[in-house]
Amino acid sequence: MTHVVVDPVTRIEGHLRIEAEVDGGAVKEAWSSCTMFRGIELILEGRDPRDAWAFAQRICGVCTTVHAIASIRAVEHAIGATPPPNARILRNLIIAAQNVQDHVIHFYHLQALDWVDIVSALSADPAKTSSLAQSISDWPLSSAKYYTEVRDRVKAFVERGQLGIFANAYWGHSAYRLPPEANLMAVAHYLEALDWQRRFIKIHAILGGKNPHLQSFLVGGMATPVDPDAQASLNLGTVAALRKLVAEGVDFVTRVYIPDVLAIASFYKDWFSIGAGVTNFLSYGDFPLDDGAQPQLYIPAGIIHNGDLSRIEPVDHAKIDEYITHSWYDYSVGDDKGLNPYKGETHPHYTGPRPPYQRLKVEEKYSWLKSPRYDGAPMQVGPLARMLVAYGVGRPTRAKELIDQALKQLNAPPAALFSTLGRIAARAIEAQVLVESMGMWVEALADGMARRDYRIQDTSKWDPSSWPQDCFGAGFHEAPRGSLGHWVHIKDGKIAKYQCVVPSTWNAGPRDAKGQPGPYEASLVGTPVAKPDQPLEILRTVHSFDPCMACGVHVVDATRRELARVRVS
Amino acid sequence: MAQTKLMLELERQGVSRRDFMGFCASMAAVLGLPKTAAATIATAVETEARPVLVWLEFQDCAGNTESFLRASHPTVADLVLDTISLNYHETLMAAAGSQAEDALEETVRKYKGKYIALVEGSIPGDPDSGYCTIGGRAALDIAREVCGSAMATIAVGTCATFGGIPAARPNPTRALSVADAVPGLKNLIHMSACPANAENITALIVYYLTLKQWPPLDRYRRPLFAYGKSIHDGCERRAHFDAGQYVEAWGDEAHRHGHCLYKMGCKGPATSQNCPNVGWNEHTNWPIGCGHPCIGCAEPNFWDVMTPFYQRLPNVAGFNTDKWLDTVGIGLTAAVAAGTIAHGVGEVMRHRRGPAAEEPAGADKNAGGQAGVKK
């Protein structure tokens, strides 16, 4: 038995440590630990609820819109504000752009180097690379000349001897299986994606002033004025710019990202049966399509138990509890009890080893993440959960269509999606579904302009004197990495308590009171490890979740009443 | 001009000499240098050996890292990253675990006193607290060692610069800025803002490569080229402020036509940064440009002193104060606002003519916006 420690897990957001027992060439047991805490929920107490989105937004600068969205929804729910159609449409565009851009960056810049050997790319034949690229896509940057240039650029970089961010990696590891030509194609697209993400995210600059940390959110709506007859507003010039950026997004996802994922997956098909872990899935659903109190959601909500896609259950938020049995917190009710976010507590209390340390005390408490459970069960969240729920309910039809298409091409059954590679494929498919949907919202924005609908914010609820003296709210959102919920208690116009249960807490949390491991921990069991001192395969499975540890900070709430109505909007 | 190694490489990457000079010109613009400086920058970037950088992340959100990835003029900025040897960056590096830590250790040993450390995120004051460990080591120990052996340290973003959001009231983890966590660092430069603008980070590095010295700093150790002027002074909506034309409600006619956001809580008058000039995401937009007030993110303790964000700053010169003063309730002192506004137009150029200090001073906190400048 070899004890493997991966700390820091790099190419993620935040600070994650994995410890694993490896025996007989595979992981027998694994522990996931978040090693950073800031306490932003505590910092929010006593503040103006209209400011909360900006604070919450700083939980994460990678998924830089998600906590702002969940926060304004929670406050709106509490005070009874209703965002007008323009605000709903702008938010849908911002959320979709965030998901698409994040998924592309994740694949190329955070995940790909687990599957792509840059050093091997140096021995690629550019002509053969060109043939390979042209056989999977009609993307124009695919000539032998182009690939010669890319190869020579990488070669020159390597020969200079300063490898920078590419130094000390696992190049040449036996688990790398792509031919040199596929490696070279992927390296070229790594560089292209770096350029693409900068351009595509201008959608956020147009709608939010800047990225990261967009600055156009408002409780009750958005701060970006809409007026086809004003230069300082979103107008038809903006619509034209958005159309162009969306079209470029569709192009890149369809002709580069999806073909690359399918091509790389075809060399690693055994990873469709590795890394399933927890097969309960949760999606809160998102992208409201109308302005009612219970809007239809473009990406549907639902619960899947034990991988049974034939039965999608509705989500009941009252069934969410968090455990701290193995987390560095204390509960007044005892550390073996779970608490619903509305009754949650956060008393940070570090009892881990004194730094510097070699090993965590995994039999005791070992993470800053709590362990959220749904009806007592661990749940996996993220693009795979959303795409499986969509597949199960049959909507949006485009999701089902693309999933079936991918499975057919890879000659794999739907159950193959419960895997490390399944998470990667589902993320790509979701990017395509969402980038294609953006055009619909751009046109809806233009339609509003035609009607001279200038409303962007519910001005009737801006003044705190219009709010109930004591109110509670919850806001739900599907972030790139999965289901996100914020809970807020507002008293006398100030935040009394604030709590977040975030995607990476669902996925990366430690064991609970019953000893049930979280999705990271469960999915690592059985993951092969050829060389324990170079645990490349562990990175593959962990990265397939797209870890975002800064989001794992916690949380406080000590409210006394049940949520009367939880609105998913 | 002889073909340098860099130009050969640029050409191999499909970057023309013209594009490269365009990049150098845009850098000169960010730095507030005359157009002729572009040639100097080009020479410096082309001939300089690649400096070694390490980028540390502590109590952070990776927002500054993401911002860095958005550096404009992508092809050449990409190359400039190539021109720098980024030996450690958790979010971007291929290696993980012990191999990643080895890369950092080796860099600190091999390039002792010669590398540049960039720090993102605040640092818990108590190393035993467990609030931030990497590879089992406390953030404070890592910062002491890595920044302590660096030739210069750049605190990127408001958390590293001033403590930022983790240090906001009640500062549950006793989070500290780099300056407070590791006192006495030489060549410490602050690139505040939440996040820092990619253009300014890149410009700072090019500044050093070009002039072989660090820039003059303001009283908060921030380069004057980026923080030498208030948002209010550079704002495209300033004429509306002066004319008394204000947004009164979200989406009203004044809002749609780009009038002043002061009454909606804009902190531009109390905030120094070059957002109005350089914009964000390749000049696409900036927060006030999209209709939302400035929140003052480049200033010390802005999470406490600039909030509530939607309340007006008191006593801003030029505003019809007697009419509105009765409804103002913000806790920010008028002195802060007035003091920052005093950073006038033209200061940047005035400072630039003087030779920059060998070591960025900024130490003299009584010197207003002029620390570190020797004439």
Residues B93 and A165 sit within 8 Å (Cβ to Cβ): yes
Q: Within an 8 Å CB–CB cutoff, is residue A126 touching chain B? A: no
| Cβ atoms < 10 Å from Cβ of A305 | 15
Closest-CA distance, B356 to chain A, in angstroms, reads 30
- What is the pLDDT, as a whole number, of residue B37? 67
Give the range of the structural domain holding residue B178, as residue numbers without chain letter. 32-226
Please tell me the distance from the alpha carbon of residue A329 to that of residue A376, in angstroms, as a whole number.
19
What would the pLDDT profile of A378-433 be if each residue is shown by its tens digit?
999 999 999 999 999 999 999 999 999 999 999 999 999 999 999 999 999 999 99
Residue B194 resides in a domain: yes
Average pLDDT over residues A118-145: 97
Query: What mean pLDDT, rounded, does chain B reach?
Result: 81
Q: Given a cut of 60, is residue B370 above it in pLDDT?
A: no
Burial class (CB in 10 A: 0-12, 13-18, 19+), B367: middle
What would the pLDDT profile of A488-534 be if each residue is shown by its tens digit?
999 999 999 999 999 999 999 999 999 999 999 999 999 999 999 99
**Contact (CB<8Å) B286/A61:** no
- In this structure, what DSSP letter does residue A499 have? E
Number of structural domains found in chain A: 1
Give the range of the structural domain holding residue A487, as residue numbers without chain letter. 2-113+196-552
Q: Which of A17, A204, A481, A511 is catalytic?
A: A481
Query: What mean pLDDT, rounded, does chain A reach?
Result: 94
Same domain? For B158 and B268 the reply is no
| Cβ atoms < 10 Å from Cβ of A376 | 13
Same domain? For B306 and B173 the reply is no
- Max CA separation in chain B (angstroms): 68
Query: Which of B176, B201, B226 represents a domain boundary (last residue)?
Result: B226
- Max CA separation in chain A (angstroms): 71
**Contact (CB<8Å) B288/A209:** yes
Same domain? For B183 and B245 the reply is no
Same domain? For B293 and B153 the reply is no
What would the pLDDT profile of A430-468 be if each residue is shown by its tens digit?
999 999 999 999 999 999 999 999 999 999 999 999 999
Q: Within an 8 Å CB–CB cutoff, is residue B57 touching chain A? A: yes
**DSSP H or E stretch at residue A371:** strand A371-374
Closest C-alpha among A313, A314, A295, A320 to residue A379: A320
Please tell me the distance from the alpha carbon of residue B279 to that of residue B29, in angstroms, as a whole number.
12
Number of structural domains found in chain B: 2
Q: A226 or B20: whose pLDDT is higher?
A: A226
Same domain? For B171 and B248 the reply is no
Closest-CA distance, B343 to chain A, in angstroms, reads 25
Residue A381 resides in a domain: yes
Query: Which of B174, B194, B226 represents a domain boundary (last residue)?
Result: B226
Window 268-297 of B, Cβ < 8 Å to A: 280-282, 284-292, 295
Residue A159 resides in a domain: no
Is position A13 annotated as part of the catalytic site? yes
Chain B residues with CB inside 8 Å of A41's CB?
none
Residue B123 resides in a domain: yes
Residues A330 and A324 sit within 8 Å (Cβ to Cβ): yes
Chain B residues with CB inside 8 Å of A220's CB?
250
Q: Given a cut of 90, is residue B59 above it in pLDDT?
A: yes
Same domain? For B87 and B185 the reply is yes
- A-B C-beta contacts closer than 8 Å: 316
Residue A181 resides in a domain: no
Phi/psi at B87 (5° precision): -85, -15
Average pLDDT over residues A137-144: 98
Q: Which of A130, A327, A367, A504 is catalytic?
A: A504
- What is the pLDDT, as a whole number, of residue B7? 61
Q: How is residue B107 written in tokens?
A: 């860099």
Q: How is residue B318 written in tokens?
A: 């030029």
Q: How is residue A46 written in tokens?
A: 């006593």
Q: Given a cut of 80, is residue B179 above it in pLDDT?
A: yes
Q: Given a cut of 90, is residue B332 above it in pLDDT?
A: no
Residue A123 resides in a domain: no
**Contact (CB<8Å) B85/A233:** no
Q: Given a cut of 70, is residue B45 above it in pLDDT?
A: no
**Contact (CB<8Å) A195/B75:** yes
Residue B355 resides in a domain: no
**Contact (CB<8Å) B133/A348:** no
**Contact (CB<8Å) A232/B258:** yes
In degrees to the nearest 10, what's the CA dihedral of A281, A282, A287, A290?
120
Q: Is the backbone peptide bond immediately before B172 cis, with ω within 30 degrees of 0?
A: no
**Contact (CB<8Å) B280/A456:** no
Is position A471 annotated as part of the catalytic site? no
Residues B76 and B23 sit within 8 Å (Cβ to Cβ): yes
Is position A551 annotated as part of the catalytic site? yes
Helices H / strands E in chain B, number of each: 19, 9
Range with lowest mean pLDDT among A122-136, A208-222, B79-93, B129-143: B79-93
Residue A389 resides in a domain: yes
Mark residue A277 as left, alpha or beta (left: phi above 0; alpha: psi -120 to 50; beta: remaining): left
Same domain? For B263 and B167 the reply is no
Residue B373 resides in a domain: no
Q: Within an 8 Å CB–CB cutoff, is residue B331 touching chain A? A: no
Please tell me the distance from the alpha carbon of residue A502 to that of residue A479, in angstroms, as a whole number.
9
What would the pLDDT profile of B63-114 be if each residue is shown by its tens digit?
999 999 888 753 434 544 567 888 999 998 999 999 999 999 999 999 999 9
CATH of the domain at B182: 3.40.50.700
CATH of the domain at A313: 1.10.645.10
Q: How confident is the model at residue B43 (pLDDT cuts 50, 70, 90)?
A: low
| Selected residue of B61, B73, B111, B144 to mutate for chain A interface (largest A Cβ count, 10 A) | B61
What would the pLDDT profile of A296-341 be if each residue is shown by its tens digit?
999 999 999 999 999 999 999 999 999 999 999 999 999 999 999 9
CA angle A195, A198, A204 (to 5 degrees): 160
Same domain? For B281 and B334 the reply is yes
Same domain? For B63 and B114 the reply is yes
CATH of the domain at B288: 4.10.480.10
Residue A178 resides in a domain: no
Same domain? For B79 and B184 the reply is yes
Residue B81 resides in a domain: yes
Residues A483 and A285 sit within 8 Å (Cβ to Cβ): no
Residue B363 resides in a domain: no
- What is the pLDDT, as a whole number, of residue A515? 97
- What is the pLDDT, as a whole number, of residue B303? 98
- What is the pLDDT, as a whole number, of residue A270? 96
- What is the pLDDT, as a whole number, of residue B15? 62
In degrees to the nearest 10, what's the CA dihedral of B11, B15, B16, B17?
-90
Residue B115 resides in a domain: yes
Same domain? For B138 and B261 the reply is no
Chain A residues with CB inside 8 Å of B126's CB?
none
Query: How far lies B187's CA from each of A304, A433, B208, B213, in Å?
Result: 56, 49, 12, 10
What would the pLDDT profile of B110-126 be if each residue is shown by its tens digit?
999 999 999 999 999 99
Q: Within an 8 Å CB–CB cutoff, is residue B90 touching chain A? A: yes
Residue A564 resides in a domain: no
Residue B118 resides in a domain: yes
CA atoms within 13 A on the CB side of B306: 26
Closest-CA distance, B165 to chain A, in angstroms, reads 7
Please tell me the distance from the alpha carbon of residue B369 to that of residue B227, in angstroms, as a whole number.
9
Q: Given a cut of 70, is residue B340 above it in pLDDT?
A: no
Residues A55 and A47 sit within 8 Å (Cβ to Cβ): yes
Same domain? For B39 and B169 the reply is yes
Range with lowest mean pLDDT among A381-385, A509-513, B8-12, B175-179: B8-12
